[in-house]
Structure 1
Amino acid sequence: MTPLAGRVALVTGGTGALGQAVSLRLLADGAAVAIPYLDARERDWLAARVAPGDRDRLLVEPADATDVEALTAFAARTVARLGRLDVLVGAVGGFAGGSLLETDAAAWRRMLDLNLTSAFAGAKAALPHMLAAGWGRIVLVASRAVVPPAGGFIAYTVAKAGVIALAQALAAETRGSGVTVNAVLPSTMDTEANRAAMPDADRSAWVPVEAVADAIATLARPESAHISGTLLAI
């Protein structure tokens, strides 16, 4: 079954651990996928995982997903090359621990840029194309760890809480337009980075990135037209 055949998805963070799982799932569902990247090593890792038959539906070009102008230009190139833009998945993110007193201004800005500004930039770039078409799916990645807001990683908490607020506010703004906006809230995901950062942790409850990708793909489908403003904990 290819529920997204003929659709085009833009996946920010599409070369990261979660982003790759999402990109591969959307390709398997029939979508064409456009991915902006900065890390050439991650780009090459993704390229090696894409099935030969899917490569003609993959557009991967350098662009900074935290830069509104750069991402807007990338979205325009996506439409020029692939003909449309139907789905946005905001999967850029990063984590840093630290209380308020332990967090300097640079760390604060980095967490906001990676987690919140990237979501804003993606939505800002993609939404005009969706509104023009009268159809769109926006899925942002927040975090289960910030509901309720937790201490000890304050910049990350504030940034991901902002993603939740952005998703719900944008869902209200787009009501009745044919565009839906939702957020997924994963708990700790089973990635190489998390395994390296927490080598002694009990990983039995960690969430596979493929499970998160499945949830995102479901929200991107035409059948999810009446789901908007939802926070899906995983």
Structure 2
Amino acid sequence: MPTSLSGKVVLIAGGGGALGGTIVPAFVRSGARVISADRNPPPEQVIEGKAMKADVADKAAVHRLLEDVIRTAGRLDVLVNLVGGFAAGRIADTDVSLWHRMLAVNLTPAFLLSKAALPHMTARGSGRLLHVAAWAAVEPFDGAGAYIVAKSGLLALIRVLALELKGSGVTVNGVLPTTIDTPANRANMPEANPSSWTKPESIAELLTFLASDGAGQISGAAIPIGAHAP
């Protein structure tokens, strides 16, 4: 049976992206009250839940977002962070601006969102923080140094937060997909075989489970998903 999140308030950061197009509807189908946040949320997501505009790499914007969520929904049960971006380049060829951009899109939002959500969740004694990282953080590949370092930092953040929140009722977990089967990745890698890539639907199923009451004893996990992950 599908995971039930009936009555839970879920904030999905980066919900307007390609992955969000699958994740947001999956959480809505689970019965959750979904709030999707993005720099430019698609208008159609207002039908599926509530869409908010926010730059989650900006501290003040994240603070306002969390205040708006609590004011609108009364509480926050689950934070799902889908924010991320890819750029190729070996470290020796990486300009400092690209380095900062990879950190700003792959690591900083996770820190700011988690930090902003924690006071509310710890005060209630319950909550779920879920971040989408990448299998490359465990098994790096050549040619995307800044991206992989940023995703590795996200993996470390998940583990550190899980230690800090032990016994609080708030859990922190990460999902580590291999290459995700999105239209953008298909367009950027036309000669690749997408049959081995991670399906967005599989990520959605895993995230909804981790958001559920049944996953209450799982924290600090970094779960590989995809054909090449063990």
Are residue 136 (structure 1) and residue 131 (structure 2) matched? no
The one-letter code of the counterpart of 1:13 is G
Q: Distance in 2 between matches of 1:149 and 1:188?
A: 12
**3-state SS of the aligned residue for 1:9?**
strand
Please say if residues 149 and 157 of structure 1, whose CA atoms lie closer than 8 Å, have aligned partners that are also in contact: yes
Q: Distance in 1 between matches of 2:115 and 2:158?
A: 12
Q: Distance in 2 between matches of 1:168 and 1:91?
A: 17
Q: Which residue of 1 aligns with 2:70?
A: 79
Please say if residues 163 and 220 of structure 2, whose CA atoms lie closer than 8 Å, have aligned partners that are also in contact: yes
Are residue 18 (structure 1) and residue 19 (structure 2) matched? yes
Deviation string, structure 1 residues 46-89 (Cα, Å, up to 9, x no partner): 45xx5xxxx4xx22121101112211211111110111101011
Q: Distance in 2 between matches of 1:93 and 1:34?
A: 18
Number of residue pairs matched by the alignment: 224
TM-score of the superposition, structure 1-length normalised? 0.92
Q: Distance in 2 between matches of 1:97 and 1:22?
A: 26
More displaced 10-residue stretch of structure 1: 28-37 or 134-143: 28-37
Alignment match of 1:115 (pick from 106, 109, 122): 106
What does residue range 9-158 of structure 1 map to in structure 2 within 5 Å? 9-40=10-41, 43-44=42-43, 46-47=45-46, 50=47, 55=48, 58-158=49-149
TM-score of the superposition, structure 2-length normalised? 0.93
Please say if residues 10 and 79 of structure 2, whose CA atoms lie closer than 8 Å, have aligned partners that are also in contact: yes
Please say if residues 62 and 112 of structure 2, whose CA atoms lie closer than 8 Å, have aligned partners that are also in contact: yes
Are residue 166 (structure 1) and residue 157 (structure 2) matched? yes
The one-letter code of the counterpart of 1:139 is L
Q: CA deviation at 1:45?
A: 5.2
Please say if residues 3 and 209 of structure 2, whose CA atoms lie closer than 8 Å, have aligned partners that are also in contact: no
Deviation string, structure 1 residues 13-57 (Cα, Å, up to 9, x no partner): 1111112221111111111111222125xx13545xx5xxxx4xx
Deviation string, structure 1 residues 157-177 (Cα, Å, up to 9, x no partner): 010001100000000011111
Q: CA deviation at 1:2?
A: 6.3
Q: CA deviation at 1:127?
A: 1.3
**3-state SS of the aligned residue for 1:101?**
helix
Q: Distance in 2 between matches of 1:113 and 1:29?
A: 31
**3-state SS of the aligned residue for 1:159?**
helix
Deviation string, structure 1 residues 74-106 (Cα, Å, up to 9, x no partner): 111111011110101110000001001211111
CA RMSD of the aligned region, Å?
1.4
Q: CA deviation at 1:184?
A: 0.3
More displaced 10-residue stretch of structure 1: 178-187 or 1-10: 1-10
Q: Distance in 1 between matches of 2:51 and 2:195?
A: 34
**3-state SS of the aligned residue for 2:87?**
coil
**Shift >3 Å, 4+ stretches:** none
Please say if residues 92 and 115 of structure 1, whose CA atoms lie closer than 8 Å, have aligned partners that are also in contact: yes
Q: Unpaired segments of 5 or more residues in structure 1?
A: none
The one-letter code of the counterpart of 1:163 is L
**3-state SS of the aligned residue for 1:84?**
coil
Q: CA deviation at 1:189?
A: 0.7
Q: Distance in 2 between matches of 1:205 and 1:100?
A: 27
Q: CA deviation at 1:149?
A: 3.2
Please say if residues 68 and 124 of structure 1, whose CA atoms lie closer than 8 Å, have aligned partners that are also in contact: no
Please say if residues 2 and 28 of structure 1, whose CA atoms lie closer than 8 Å, have aligned partners that are also in contact: no
Deviation string, structure 1 residues 176-214 (Cα, Å, up to 9, x no partner): 111000000000111011001001101110111111111
Q: Distance in 1 between matches of 2:27 and 2:169?
A: 20
The one-letter code of the counterpart of 2:135 is R
